[in-house]
């Protein structure tokens, strides 16, 4: 069962969204995607942009857990290509940047499709890319921040 999926028609998409709301997903990943742009450097003279980011409509790709050794990494968090792995699910966020997808228990990598390519800016201590663990009968909450256009 997919979360918020892309479909050929707007009516079908609305229907799919209503059938797969967070309340119907009992095991998987639910989260939101936000974009941060601009100067986030501390300064008493200039205000920072929206500190929480702006919700974003994006395609979210869920892969089996990926390590940096399995991808051709680009600059600024971009992944140029993934070797020998395909997404297990692909969903589209709603206008508020929210998504929810059913998945079997396991470990996954969550990437966001940007115009320049796939993007992830988080890694764990074993160089796993944007890892999320799904446990049996649990929803894992995950926030994806697109920060390639921001300065910190």
DSSP-assigned beta bridge partners for residue 101: 29
pLDDT confidence of residue 139? 95
Q: Where are the alpha helices (DSSP H) in 6-126?
A: 10-19
Q: Residue count of the chain, please give it.
A: 152
CATH architecture of the domain 10-151 equals Sandwich (2.60)
Cα distance between residue 111 and residue 134, in whole Å: 16
- What are φ and ψ of residue 10, in 5° steps? -60, -40
Per-position pLDDT tens, the chain of length 152: 333 333 333 333 333 343 344 558 889 999 999 887 665 556 666 665 566 677 889 999 999 999 999 998 887 788 888 988 999 999 999 999 999 999 999 999 999 999 888 999 888 999 999 999 999 999 999 988 887 554 54
pLDDT confidence of residue 3? 39
pLDDT confidence of residue 8? 36
Q: Where are the beta strands (DSSP E) in 18-105?
A: 28-39, 54-55, 59-64, 71-73, 78-82, 89-92, 98-102
> What pTM was computed for the model?
0.74
Degrees to nearest 5, angle at CA 145 with 143 and 151:
150
pLDDT confidence of residue 52? 62
* Residue linked to tokens 């009968």: 137
Contact 109, 116 (CB under 8 A): no
Domain segments of the chain as ranges: 10-151
Contact 6, 58 (CB under 8 A): no
């Amino acid at each position: 069962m997919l979360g918020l999926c892309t479909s050929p028609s707007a009516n079908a998409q609305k229907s799919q969204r209503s059938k797969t709301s967070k309340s119907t997903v009992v095991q998987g990943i639910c989260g939101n995607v936000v974009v941060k742009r601009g100067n986030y450097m501390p300064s008493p003279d200039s205000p920072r942009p929206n500190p929480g980011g702006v919700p974003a409509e994006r395609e979210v790709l869920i892969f089996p857990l990926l390590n940096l050794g399995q991808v051709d990494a680009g600059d600024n968090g971009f992944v140029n290509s993934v070797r020998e792995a395909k997404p297990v699910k692909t969903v589209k966020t709603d206008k508020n940047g929210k998504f929810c997808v059913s998945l079997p228990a396991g470990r996954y990598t969550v990437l966001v499709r940007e115009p320049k390519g796939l993007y992830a800016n988080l890694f764990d201590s074993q160089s796993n890319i944007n890892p999320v663990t799904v446990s049996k009968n649990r929803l894992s909450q995950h926030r994806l921040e697109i920060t390639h256009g921001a300065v910190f």
